[in-house]
Amino acid sequence: MTRRVNRRDFVLTSAAGLAAAAATPRTLFGQGPTMMTPRSVKPIVVSSANGHRFKNGGTKTCVETAFEGIVRGDDVLDSLIAGVNIVELDPEDTSVGYGGLPNADGVVQLDSCCMHGPKKQAGGVACLEGVRTPSRVAKAVMEQTDHHLIVGKGAQDFARNMGFTIEADLNTDRSRQIWLEWKRRTDPEHYLDPRKREEVERKVMREMIEEGLVDENHLYGTINCDGISPKGEICGVTTTSGLAWKIPGRVGDSPILGAGLYVDGAVGAAGSTGRGEANLYNLCSFMIVEGMRRGLAPKDAGMEALRRIQANTVEKRLLNGRGLPNFGINFYVINARGEHAGVGMYSNDRLKFAVCDENGARLEPIEPLLPGNPED
Q: Which residues carry out catalysis?
A: 222
Strand partners, 260: none
Longest Cα separation, the chain: 98
Strand partners, 342: 332
H-assigned helices in the chain: 7-23, 25-29, 62-72, 76-89, 134-144, 152-161, 173-185, 194-210, 276-282, 284-293, 298-312
Closest CA to 331 of 347, 348, 343: 343
Q: How far is residue 327's CA from residue 218's CA, in Å, rounded to a whole number?
A: 13
Torsion of CA 327, 282, 317, 93, to 10 degrees: -30
Element spanning 269, H or E? strand 268-274
Strand partners, 261: 257, 271
- Contact between 361 and 63 under an 8 Å Cβ cutoff? The reply is yes
Q: How far is residue 269's CA from residue 340's CA, in Å, rounded to a whole number?
A: 10
Q: How far is residue 91's CA from residue 102's CA, in Å, rounded to a whole number?
A: 13
DSSP 374: T
Q: How far is residue 82's CA from residue 293's CA, in Å, rounded to a whole number?
A: 29
